[in-house]
Amino acid sequence: MKNKENERLGLGKSFYILLAIGMVLLVLGYFIMSTNEITISAIILFVAYVITIPVALLWHKKPKE
């Protein structure tokens, strides 16, 4: 049942990998922000919020014919 639901939603291995990368970047960005490295943390958070997480949500495998 769960496998069919994941296929229908398009949640594959690549989705979870990209989402995990996004979450790691978020934690890293906020950790670096706590050390007062604002410029570096802003770049990392930008990459996480604007690039990695949306790509994970929009990435779909091509259907097999």
Task: Give per-residue burial for 33-61: e unless 16+ CB within 10 Å, then b.
Answer: eeeeeeeebeebbebbeeebbeebeeeee
Residue 21 belongs to some domain of the structure: yes
Can you give the residue range of the structural domain that contains 8? 2-58
Q: CA 36, CA 33: separation in Å to the nearest integer?
A: 5
Query: In the prediction, which pLDDT does 52 show?
Result: 92
How many domains does the chain fold into?
A: 1
Query: How do the pLDDT tens digits run along the chain, 65 residues long?
Result: 566 655 666 677 888 898 999 999 999 999 999 999 999 999 999 999 999 988 888 877 666 65
Residue 51 belongs to some domain of the structure: yes
Residue 12 belongs to some domain of the structure: yes
Residue 63 belongs to some domain of the structure: no
Residue 64 belongs to some domain of the structure: no
